Structure 1
Amino acid sequence: MPLSEYEQRVLEQMERQLTSDDPRLANTLTQSGHRAVGRYVIASVGVIVGLLLLVFGAAGSIPLLGVLGFVVMFAAVAFAFANPGRHRGRSGPQGVVAGDGSVQQRPAQRRQRAGFMTRLEERWEKRRGEGGR
């Protein structure tokens, strides 16, 4: 059953409000929930190999092999649940949606977009203007 025009407008307004109030949550909710099956296959193989190393290390009284098996299992599970292709500085949305639907950048994002040398030059000019050395 399709939504009425009023319901669609209310949902769009709620979406804009959520995006402006908490952009990280809005970004998380709009991402797809499925992950690549290949990651889980690789992680499963890693867990099995780690478990075998752990068992053979315990059965053969080789503690180093057991510890290595545990580390391999732990790394495989961490690999399975890690966020692929995500970098901390780039995970958020590109800006804030204003009331009219336009996207406005935040000041911190404008500063991040500037190059390293540009930021150094700005700092230098600021220090020279303050009477620094």
Structure 2
Amino acid sequence: MPLSEYEQRVLEQLERDLGSDAKLGSAMARASRPRGRYVWAGVGVVAGLGIVVTGAVTQLIVVGVAGFAVMLAAAVWALLAPRPVGSRPVASSGGDARRRKADKGFMTRMEERFERRREQGDI
């Protein structure tokens, strides 16, 4: 079902607002975690699984628990890796106004914009 003209305008305005959000831009500009860390974590999980299987075959609970701990530690190590921060977007003239706008919060800005439209009779 196609969008109405009003819905298309609102969608375009939301897209523009998301593009001008400094906090969102800096969050999206961050680089992903290094792949090498995921590879080593995968090796750790496979090694831990091998230790768990060894513990099950030998019926030694301590060995199985140690294998599970190795798997869990490898997974947590991969997931909690710090992300390198990418380049921050350069603020154009009026960067202070953009910063203040970003500090307000997305929902607050949307509510203010809705109120302005309602007062102007656009809605």
State TM-score, norm by structure 1: 0.48
User: What percentage of residue pairs aligned between the two structures are identical?
Assistant: 32
**Distance of 1:14 and 1:98 partners within structure 2:** 16
| Matched AA of 1:29 | M
1:1-133 superposed matches below 5 A: 15-16=19-20, 18-19=21-22, 23=23, 25-32=24-31, 34-84=32-82, 100-102=94-96
Q: What is the match of residue 3 of structure 1?
A: none
| Matched AA of 2:25 | A
**Deviation for aligned residue 1:55:** 0.4
- Higher share of residues assigned helix: 2
If asked which structure has higher relative contact order (CA below 8 Å, sep 6+), I would say 2
Is contact 1:98-1:104 (8 Å) kept?
no
**Deviation for aligned residue 1:37:** 2.0
State TM-score, norm by structure 2: 0.51
- Classify 1:65/1:14 alpha carbon distance in 2 versus 1 (closer, same or farther; 3 Å): closer
Structure 2 gap segments, 5+ residues each:
1-14, 101-123
**Distance of 1:83 and 1:52 partners within structure 2:** 24
**Deviation for aligned residue 1:52:** 0.8
| Alignment root-mean-square deviation, CA | 3.3
**Distance of 2:83 and 2:19 partners within structure 1:** 26
Structure 1 gap segments, 5+ residues each:
1-9, 106-133
Aligned residues: 81
**Deviation for aligned residue 1:35:** 2.5
**Distance of 1:14 and 1:78 partners within structure 2:** 32
Which of structure 1's runs of 4+ aligned residues deviate more than 3 A?
A: 13-16, 102-105
**Deviation for aligned residue 1:41:** 1.6
